[in-house]
Amino acid sequence: MTTPSVVPSLNRRALLQAAVGLLLCAIGYFLAHRESYEVRTVLATAGGCNMPTDIYESRSGTPVGSVVLLHGLSANKKVMSFTAEEFANQELRVFVPDLPGHGKAPGPFSPARVEYCAESLLRDLTVRKAIIPEHTLLVGHSMGGAIAARVAARNPVAGVIAVSPAPMHPAPGFASEVLLFPTPPPLASHSLILSAQWDPSAVRQIAKDLVTQSANSSNKYQVIPATSHVSILFAPATFEAMRAWASQTLGGNPAASLPTNLPALGCMIGLIGLSILAPPFLREMTASPFTVVPGESNSPHSFLNTILTLVLPSCLAVTLLRFFIPFNFVRIFQGGYLASFLFLVGTAMLVLYRRNFPALRAFFTTNIVASSAAAILMVLLFAAWFELTFYEAWLTPARWLRFPLLVLLFLPWHLAEELFLGAAGANSRLRRIFYCFIFRGILWLTLVAGILYLHSAEFAIVLLIVYFVVFSLLQRMATDVIRTQTHSIPASALFGAILLAGFVLAILPVA
């Protein structure tokens, strides 16, 4: 007699979740797009680099100067849109390229190639009289900041603004293996170097050295308080410093208002909305009755034993990868290393726990089809949201070609992780998330140790730790929904592997 009242209640709850999620997405989109700018995209072919380049026109249409704006290692031109809009408000024309291997630009990526392509773009714009070098600022963030400083050392420009530039010489606590560029350039005149207060002290000191070791008194170093390596891009203090510098060097409007668009905030609000929408969507995708294959609803393994068992294969994997990376042919910048590491560790753990491995027929069920379809739709949905707000996450053909192989390489680890965690009802949701982060934390610490002691130089996963933490949280929450619905280890593992493959392909450049 209670069933009829329960079903409508569940339906109302799902409808309420959908309404809240859609409302948050609408608010996020509005925040990201509430002010329009005149932007056109051209293909910059200088040096054979084929870089899609956004051009932001000045508000008045009569620019007093130009800015060439360069993004960082795990970014693209869309991430720099807010900064470009701020310069456009100062009556400057802004050129923002996707550097090779990033965004929509084809690869290959290498530090030397992106530096070459950025310099080729600057020279080509000069030849075409699209810019006047003496009225042009080179501006960049992280890797882009280092490139801006390096290119300006060889080409006359009005000045440089390097925001949290990538380190270019080793220092205590910062080994040479993690450097994109091995030597710092002589800093050009009128260079402003900005550091985030929450950057590691070694990174801040290396950035400060660019100015202190320069003989030019027109250069300046400044720390932006209460900022991280990424949030510095959106801090009002950063724009105050850049506005003053642009006004001093180019004559831009020092009283120009900040853009009203808030792409980062809008993106985060929309992500919360999508996270609310995802569970009912996934339940609907996997709503058909499924047959549970014997052995799939396993009990969780001993937490302490799993940790102790995980350490040895992880250490052996990074030691082996110091000499040979078997899947380097994936050609994703340091993605081949990550894929090889997870494949080796996952495979080793599956061998150790082979008695608990699901039956082969569990990999050929309707669970697998439904979960795979749900995962791909999730990748497309989140990629579309990032494209609309903050980041070019839509996979290009070059990335899609790598997608199936990465899924297969990530699958062993996700199978092992599902075995460790056991059936969805065996532990509370929070405990499963906690255990998942402990397991992945061991992997991350092993990778850090590989950099510090084996000089593996595979540092992307360390630099991008915040992104991986946020992704891991969302991935675990979604994967637990699949595990609860299907009671299938292979289905939930494949779901997680597909999400990780999409994330890695979106965030790392094509090498």
Mean pLDDT of 266-272: 96
Residue 2: pLDDT above 60?
A: no
pLDDT grade for 361, boundaries at 50, 70 and 90:
confident
Q: Fill in the DSSP letter of residue 169.
A: S
Instruction: Tell me the per-residue pLDDT of 181-230, one tens digit each, with 9 for 90 and over.
Output: 988 999 999 999 999 999 888 889 999 999 999 878 899 999 999 999 88
Give every CB contact of residue 204 below 8 A, 6+ residues apart in sequence: 195, 196, 223
Distance CA(461)–CA(414), nearest Å, equals 18
* Residue-level pLDDT at 291: 54
* Residue-level pLDDT at 344: 97
Distance CA(89)–CA(233), nearest Å, equals 16
CB 80 within 8 A of CB 95: no
* Residue-level pLDDT at 464: 84
Give every CB contact of residue 413 below 8 A, 6+ residues apart in sequence: 342, 343, 345, 346, 349, 497
Mean pLDDT of 142-150: 96
CA distances to 105, 110, 442 from 116, in Å:
14, 10, 38
For the chain, what is the mean pLDDT?
90
Position 317, amino acid: A
Distance CA(121)–CA(478), nearest Å, equals 42
pTM confidence score: 0.92
Instruction: Tell me the per-residue pLDDT of 4-43, one tens digit each, with 9 for 90 and over.
Output: 554 565 578 778 888 999 999 999 999 999 999 999 999 9
Q: How many CA atoms lie within 13 A of 357 on its CB side?
A: 15
* Residue-level pLDDT at 487: 87
Q: Write the DSSP assignment of 26-56 as a string of letters.
A: HHHHHHHHSS---EEEEEE-GGG--EEEEEE
* Residue-level pLDDT at 257: 85
Domain regions of the chain by residue span: 1-34+262-285, 35-260, 293-507
* Residue-level pLDDT at 172: 73
For residue 510, the cross-strand partners are 332
Instruction: Tell me the per-residue pLDDT of 425-447, one tens digit each, with 9 for 90 and over.
Output: 767 788 889 999 999 999 999 99
CB 342 within 8 A of CB 413: yes
Distance CA(179)–CA(169), nearest Å, equals 7
Mean pLDDT of 375-391: 95
Q: Please count the residues of the chain.
A: 511
Coil, helix or strand for 62?
A: coil
Question: Can you give 321-350 as a three-state secondary structure string?
Answer: HCCCCCCHHHCECCHHHHHHHHHHHHHHHH
Cis amide bond preceding 108, omega within 30: yes
Choose which CATH entry (1.50.10.20, 3.40.50.300, 3.40.50.1820, 3.40.190.10) describes domain 35-260.
3.40.50.1820
Estimate the crossing angle of helix 263-285 against helix 465-486, to 10 degrees: 20
Mean pLDDT of 452-481: 86
* Residue-level pLDDT at 110: 93
Instruction: Tell me the per-residue pLDDT of 284-336, one tens digit each, with 9 for 90 and over.
Output: 887 765 555 554 556 666 778 888 889 999 999 999 999 999 999 999 999 99
pLDDT grade for 273, boundaries at 50, 70 and 90:
very high
